[in-house]
């Protein structure tokens, strides 16, 4: 015979004791508990997370079960259904109306693997259940078409509300747009700065992105007009800095990160991803050789008080996969996919925290002196 009282109120009361570990408030206050159904000695409910890539899913599920057992009764069968509705605090602009979060992926210098990281983060987020797109804003050296095996593809043009719009290319579940899809291959297109900025604006305004949880922007290395065009055209949720561990790379990454922090730009920096953090040979998957030095990404992160979102090993298969046009995360190798998946989860987590704690993002107004 049960002695507890199993009602919707007692369930909500119990779940009011479960804190969302990142957002530091309880699930009921955060309005994350839905569809409570009661049976005999059984309760079933849905917890709506702020991202499907939440790394704390299982912890939250366990805390829900424990709370019901502690506050109502130890013998109740608890069935927790976890779903996600990705959070957004975007200022409503006519550009990209269906895109919840716009994430700038930036690096201080070229060749640190920014495009590789962007491509693999995107696929990892998609595999978690999110709707994801990439804009290749590296107008002067686009590499996204190669990395997604899409060099031969060209975007279709379709009518949306009477306006001609480019249809993004879709590969491995990711919507893509790049200047590489629009200019002839092997043709050296020489762009003036304003032309490049105009091309980027078209990727935002004249492309039919539809609904996306995360739109990743693969920026050119360093700081440029393209960065300014980005922050002026759309409200950027946050920026990620990709660096390698060497001192020379870190010096440039510091400048790149500081740019987002400038008062007139003021884009939240979500964290640092250290690429090529260590070398792992294929035949020794448990070995780590810190050939570019150790802890550089952490130093940068500490300096700006932001988290390290991930450390990606230098692995031959990552380069091969990029060249073959199939991001390595599409394979299920534990070393490479695991590193990108945990970086993607940490990024999604930081976006959720940012959306819960900081003001809405607006496009930046930069006054030229």
Q: Which residues form the interface with ligand ATP (CB under 6 A)? A: 107, 110-116, 138, 141, 143, 221, 275-276, 312, 314-315, 318-319, 322
Say if residue 141 carries a ligand binding annotation.
no
162 annotated as ligand-binding: no
87 is in an annotated binding site: no
Query: In the 3-class helix/strand/coil scheme, how is the chain assigned residue by residue?
Result: CCCCCCCHHHHHHHHCCCECCCCCCECCCCCCEEEEEEECCEEEEEEEECCCCCCCHHHHHHHHHHHHHHHCCCCCEEEEEEEECCCCCECCCCCCCCEEEEEEEEECCCCCCHHHHHHHHHHHHHHHCCCEEEEECCCCCCCHHHHCCCCCCCCCEEEECCEEEECCEEECCEEEEEHHHCCCCCCCCCCCHHHHHHHHHHHHHCECCCCEEEEEEECCCCCCHHHHHHHHHCCCCEEEEEECCCHHHHHHHHHHHHHHHCCCCCCCEEEEEEEEEEECCCCCCCCCECCCCCCHHHHHHHHHCCCEEEEEEECHHHHHHHHHCCCHHHCCCHHHHHHHHHHHHHHHHHHHHHHHHCCCECCCCCCCC
**In whole angstroms, how close is the CB of 308 to ligand ATP at the nearest point?**
15
113 marked as part of a ligand binding site: yes
**Residue 109 known to bind ligand:** yes
Q: How far is the CB of 310 from ligand ATP (least distance, A)?
A: 11
Residue of this chain nearest to ligand ATP (CB atom): 110
**Which of residues 109 and 175 has its CB atom nearest to ligand ATP in the complex?**
109
Q: Minimum CB separation from ligand ATP for residue 84, in Å?
A: 28
- Taking the complex as a whole, the smallest distance from the CB of residue 242 to ligand ATP amounts, in Å, to 7
Residue among 63 and 109 whose Cβ is closer to ligand ATP: 109
- 224 is annotated as contributing to ligand binding: no
Please report how close the Cβ of residue 73 comes to ligand ATP at its closest, in angstroms: 50
Nearer Cβ to ligand ATP, position 165 or 314?
A: 314
| Nearer residue to ligand ATP within complex by CB, 208 or 280 | 280
Q: Considering the complex, state which of residue 37 and residue 323 has its C-beta at the smaller distance from ligand ATP.
A: 323
Binding-site entries for ATP = 108-115
């Amino acid at each position: 015979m049960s002695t507890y009282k199993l009602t919707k109120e007692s369930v909500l009361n119990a779940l009011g004791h479960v804190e969302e570990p990142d957002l530091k408030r309880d699930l009921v206050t955060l309005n994350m508990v839905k569809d409570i159904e009661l049976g005999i000695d059984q309760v079933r409910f849905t917890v709506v997370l702020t991202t499907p890539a939440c790394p704390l899913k299982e912890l939250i599920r366990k805390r829900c079960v424990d709370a019901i057992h502690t506050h109502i009764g130890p013998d109740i069968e608890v069935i927790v259904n976890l779903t996600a509705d990705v959070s957004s605090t975007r200022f409503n602009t006519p550009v990209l109306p269906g895109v919840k979060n716009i994430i700038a992926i930036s690096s201080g210098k070229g060749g640190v693997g920014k495009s590789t990281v962007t491509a693999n983060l995107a696929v990892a987020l998609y595999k978690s259940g999110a709707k994801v797109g990439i804009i290749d804003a590296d107008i002067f050296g686009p590499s996204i078409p190669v990395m997604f095996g899409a060099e031969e593809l060209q975007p279709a043009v379709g009518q949306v509300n009477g306006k001609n719009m480019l249809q993004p290319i879709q590969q491995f579940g990711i919507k893509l747009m790049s200047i590489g899809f629009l200019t002839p291959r092997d043709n050296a297109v020489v762009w003036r700065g304003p032309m490049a900025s105009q091309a980027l604006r078209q990727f935002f305004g004249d492309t039919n992105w539809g609904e996306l949880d995360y739109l990743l922007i693969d920026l050119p290395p360093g700081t440029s007009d393209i960065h300014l065009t980005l922050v002026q055209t759309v409200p950027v949720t946050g920026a990620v800095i990709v660096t390698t561990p060497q001192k020379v790379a870190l010096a440039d990454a510091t400048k790149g990160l500081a740019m987002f922090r400038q008062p007139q730009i003021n884009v939240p920096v979500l964290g640092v991803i250290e690429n090529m953090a260590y070398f792992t040979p294929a035949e020794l998957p448990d070995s780590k050789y810190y050939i570019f030095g150790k802890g550089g990404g952490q130093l940068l992160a500490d300096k700006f008080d932001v988290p390290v979102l991930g450390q990606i090993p230098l692995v031959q298969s990552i380069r091969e996969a990029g060249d073959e046009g199939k991001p390595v995360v599409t394979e299920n190798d534990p070393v490479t996919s695991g590193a990108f998946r945990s970086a993607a989860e940490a990024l999604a987590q930081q976006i959720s925290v940012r959306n819960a704690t900081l003001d809405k993002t607006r496009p930046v107004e930069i006054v030229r002196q």
